[in-house]
Amino acid sequence: LPADTTNHLLRVLRLSVGDTISLFNGDGNDYAARILNGAKSGAEVEILDASPVHSESPLRIHLGQALARGEKMDWVLQKATELGVAAVTPLVTQRSEVKL
């Protein structure tokens, strides 16, 4: 592992040789690994196991969102999508900023 990651593991998280960590690199798997040694220049780890990541929530979230003015509604939809919301229903409420 690179020096900055090693520093974070050993100094900030206070892990030591022999501890087990979870690693990922964006290929769709999580890797269980054991720290073999650590120095200022970096650390050596042993990969113990690889398991596929199931990052999508099994929940189907439906968001009811009151209509908002300007770009605020676009921002809400963007963030809801990023968080995994399955459906969004725009609502006209008594206190909505936008009236149809």
Q: In this predicted model, what pLDDT tens digit does every residue of 46-64 receive, in sequence order?
A: 999 999 987 777 889 999 9
Per residue in 10-39, pLDDT tens? 999 999 999 999 999 888 899 999 999 988
What is the pLDDT, as a whole number, of residue 69? 86
Checking 82-86 for CB contacts under 8 A at 24+ apart, the result is 84/56, 84/57, 85/61, 86/60, 86/61, 86/62
Give me the domains of the chain, ranges plus CATH numbers. 3-52 (2.40.240.20), 56-100 (no CATH)
- Percent of the chain at pLDDT > 70 equals 99
Averaged pLDDT of the chain? 91
